[in-house]
A and B are shown apart, each in its own frame.
Chain A
Amino acid sequence: MSISEKISQAAGKYFEIPDKLNAVAALLENEYGLRINFCRIFGKRWSYVAGDRQLEYAPIRRQLSPQYGIFYLESSQLTEGDRQTVLHALTQLLTEIDHA
Chain B
Amino acid sequence: MQSVKVSEWKKKVIKSDEIEKYLIGGRDFIDESAIKSHLETNPNPDKARVREILAKALQIKRLEPEETAALLNVTDSDLWNEMYATGLAIKRKVYDNRIVFFAPLYCSNLCVNNCAYCGFRYENKEEKRRILTMDEVRQEAKAVINEGHKRMIVVFGEHPRSAADYIAETIRTIYDVKVPVKTGYSAIRRVNINAAPMSIADLKKLWEVGIGTFQVFQETYHKPTYANLHPIDTVKGNYRWRLYALHRAMEAGIDDVAIGALFGLYDWRFEVMGLLYHAIDLERQFGIGPHTISFPRMTPASGSFLSRNSQWLVSDENFKKLVTVLRLAVPYSGLIITARESAAVRREVIGVGCTQTDASTRIGVGGYTAALQVLAGKNPEDQEIDKQQFTLGDTRSLDEVVRELAENGMITSFCTAGYRCGRTGDKIMGLLKGCIEGKFCKANAVLTFREYLDDYASPATKAIGEQLIQKEIEEIKTMPFFQKGRMLETFERMYKQIASGERDVYI
A residues engaging B (CB < 8 A)? 37, 39-40, 42-48, 53-54, 56-59, 61, 71, 73
Residues in B whose Cβ lies below 8 Å from that of A54: 430
Chain A residue nearest in CB terms to B206: A42
Q: Which residue in B172, B419, B427, B436 is a CB contact (below 8 Å) of A45?
A: B419
B residues engaging A (CB < 8 A)? 171-172, 175, 189-190, 207-212, 253, 255, 416, 419-428, 430-431, 436, 484-487, 490, 507
Q: Which residue in B171, B189, B416, B421 is a CB contact (below 8 Å) of A61?
A: B421
Using known A-B contacts A56-B431, A57-B485, A59-B507, determine if residue A46 contacts B425 with beta carbons closer than 8 Å. no
In contact, A44 and B190 (Cβ under 8 angstroms): yes
In contact, B210 and A37 (Cβ under 8 angstroms): no
In contact, A42 and B210 (Cβ under 8 angstroms): yes
In contact, B420 and A45 (Cβ under 8 angstroms): yes
In contact, B425 and A48 (Cβ under 8 angstroms): yes
What are 8 A-B pairs with beta-carbon distances under 8 A? Answer: A44-B190, A44-B420, A45-B424, A46-B419, A46-B422, A56-B431, A61-B421, A71-B421
Using known A-B contacts A57-B484, A57-B485, A59-B490, determine if residue A45 contacts B211 with beta carbons closer than 8 Å. yes
A48 to B436, CA, bound (A): 16
Q: Which residue in B419, B436, B485 is a CB contact (below 8 Å) of A47?
A: B419
Least CB distance, A70 to chain B, in whole angstroms: 9
A-B contact count (CB 8 A): 67
Residue from A37, A39, A42 whose CB has the most chain B CB atoms within 10 Å: A42
Chain A residue nearest in CB terms to B429: A53
Using known A-B contacts A59-B507, A61-B421, determine if residue A47 contacts B490 with beta carbons closer than 8 Å. no
In contact, A46 and B487 (Cβ under 8 angstroms): no
In contact, A57 and B255 (Cβ under 8 angstroms): no
A48 to B253, CA, bound (A): 10
Residue from B212, B423, B436, B484 whose CB has the most chain A CB atoms within 10 Å: B423
Chain B residue nearest in CB terms to A69: B422
Residues in A whose Cβ lies below 8 Å from that of B422: 37, 39, 46-48, 58, 71
Using known A-B contacts A48-B425, A48-B427, determine if residue A43 contacts B507 with beta carbons closer than 8 Å. no
In contact, B424 and A53 (Cβ under 8 angstroms): no
Residues in B whose Cβ lies below 8 Å from that of A59: 486, 490, 507
Least CB distance, B35 to chain A, in whole angstroms: 33
A45-B424, A47-B425 known; 6 new pairs, CB 8 Å cut-off, are A42-B208, A44-B419, A46-B419, A47-B253, A48-B422, A59-B486
Least CB distance, B291 to chain A, in whole angstroms: 12
Least CB distance, B476 to chain A, in whole angstroms: 14
Residues in B whose Cβ lies below 8 Å from that of A56: 431, 436, 484
Residues in A whose Cβ lies below 8 Å from that of B207: 42
10 closest residue pairs by CB, A with B: A43-B210, A48-B427, A39-B422, A48-B422, A45-B210, A42-B210, A47-B424, A46-B422, A44-B210, A37-B422
Chain A residue nearest in CB terms to B255: A47
Residues in B whose Cβ lies below 8 Å from that of A47: 253, 255, 419, 422, 424-425
A37 to B422, CA, bound (A): 8
A39 to B253, CA, bound (A): 12
Least CB distance, B458 to chain A, in whole angstroms: 29
In contact, A48 and B210 (Cβ under 8 angstroms): no
A39 to B414, CA, bound (A): 23
Residues in A whose Cβ lies below 8 Å from that of B423: 48
A69 to B255, CA, bound (A): 17
A57 to B483, CA, bound (A): 12
In contact, A45 and B487 (Cβ under 8 angstroms): no
In contact, A53 and B430 (Cβ under 8 angstroms): yes
Least CB distance, B250 to chain A, in whole angstroms: 12
A47 to B210, CA, bound (A): 10
Residues in A whose Cβ lies below 8 Å from that of B209: 42-43
In contact, B421 and A46 (Cβ under 8 angstroms): yes
Chain B residue nearest in CB terms to A59: B490
In contact, B175 and A53 (Cβ under 8 angstroms): no
A61 to B484, CA, bound (A): 19
Residues in B whose Cβ lies below 8 Å from that of A39: 422
Chain A residue nearest in CB terms to B485: A57
Residues in A whose Cβ lies below 8 Å from that of B430: 53-54
Using known A-B contacts A45-B212, A71-B421, determine if residue A53 contacts B427 with beta carbons closer than 8 Å. yes
Least CB distance, A33 to chain B, in whole angstroms: 13
Using known A-B contacts A42-B207, A42-B210, A73-B485, determine if residue A48 contacts B424 with beta carbons closer than 8 Å. yes
Chain A residue nearest in CB terms to B494: A59
Residues in A whose Cβ lies below 8 Å from that of B208: 42-43
A47 to B253, CA, bound (A): 9
Least CB distance, B347 to chain A, in whole angstroms: 32
Chain A residue nearest in CB terms to B416: A44
Least CB distance, A57 to chain B, in whole angstroms: 6
A73 to B422, CA, bound (A): 14
Least CB distance, B417 to chain A, in whole angstroms: 10
A41 to B155, CA, bound (A): 24
Residues in B whose Cβ lies below 8 Å from that of A48: 255, 422-428
Residues in A whose Cβ lies below 8 Å from that of B426: 48, 53
Least CB distance, A75 to chain B, in whole angstroms: 12
Least CB distance, A48 to chain B, in whole angstroms: 4
Residues in A whose Cβ lies below 8 Å from that of B490: 59
Residues in B whose Cβ lies below 8 Å from that of A44: 175, 189-190, 210, 416, 419-420
In contact, B175 and A57 (Cβ under 8 angstroms): no
Residues in B whose Cβ lies below 8 Å from that of A61: 421
A71 to B424, CA, bound (A): 13
Residues in A whose Cβ lies below 8 Å from that of B171: 43
A61 to B172, CA, bound (A): 23
